[in-house]
Amino acid sequence: MSATLDLLGARFGRLRVVAFAGVKGRKRRWQCACDCGGGTEASTGNLRSSKVASCGCAKDGAKLLRHGQRRRGMRVTEYTIWAGMKDRCYRPRNHKYPRYGGRGISVCDRWRDSFEAFLADMGRRPSRGHSIDRINNDGNYEPGNCRWATAIEQVHNRGSK
């Protein structure tokens, strides 16, 4: 491997090359660690052309496997709530953005980058009748300012429009 391209330590999408896996056919293969904790083996060409950029966790919505919370192929409700919270705060095309991100409401760094952290801090919602609620409506989505609340509790917590 002296005159060949050495990819050890290089990053390709979610993958980091951790070892040379040998030659199969005429292709050099590399063992890669994925950001999700998984791993895969890929050829130099597939890595460099971005044909392989994850262990498979990012295909067809399967990235939800990263947090280990899929049930029967469906997203868990808490994941959908977490994703919606971020969407309201950071995507101007979301119809609710003016009432959230447009007013300066944001998601704390711990939650913004990690569903696992969000779930650890908030826990599972107690019932289908509960949704995420900010205790201080002018405050951000963060551990000390969020709770699972019923629709009635949320009505009593609304700010004036």
Could you give the CA distance from residue 35 to residue 29 in angstroms, rounded to a whole number? Answer: 19
The predicted pLDDT at position 4 comes to 59
The predicted pLDDT at position 33 comes to 85
Residue entry with tokens 């999700």: 36
Contact 76/68 with Cβ under 8 angstroms?
no
Query: pTM, whole model, 2 decimals?
Result: 0.55
Between 88 and 6, the more confident residue is: 88
Digit-coded pLDDT (tens) for 61-96: 444 444 555 544 445 788 889 999 999 999 999 999
Q: Residue 60 phi/psi, 5° resolution?
A: 50, 40
Could you give the CA distance from residue 126 to residue 123 in angstroms, rounded to a whole number? Answer: 9
Could you give the CA distance from residue 159 to residue 5 in angstroms, rounded to a whole number? Answer: 60
The token duo for 34 is 């994925």
Digit-coded pLDDT (tens) for 7-35: 888 999 888 999 998 998 899 999 988 87
The burial of 121, by beta-carbon neighbours within 10 Å (0-12 exposed, 13-18 middle, 19 or more buried), is given as: middle
Digit-coded pLDDT (tens) for 102-161: 999 999 999 998 989 999 999 999 998 999 999 999 999 999 999 999 999 988 887 654
Q: Residue 24 phi/psi, 5° resolution?
A: -125, 120
- For the segment 37-62, the average pLDDT, to the nearest whole number, is 80
Between 155 and 2, the more confident residue is: 155
Between 37 and 109, the more confident residue is: 109
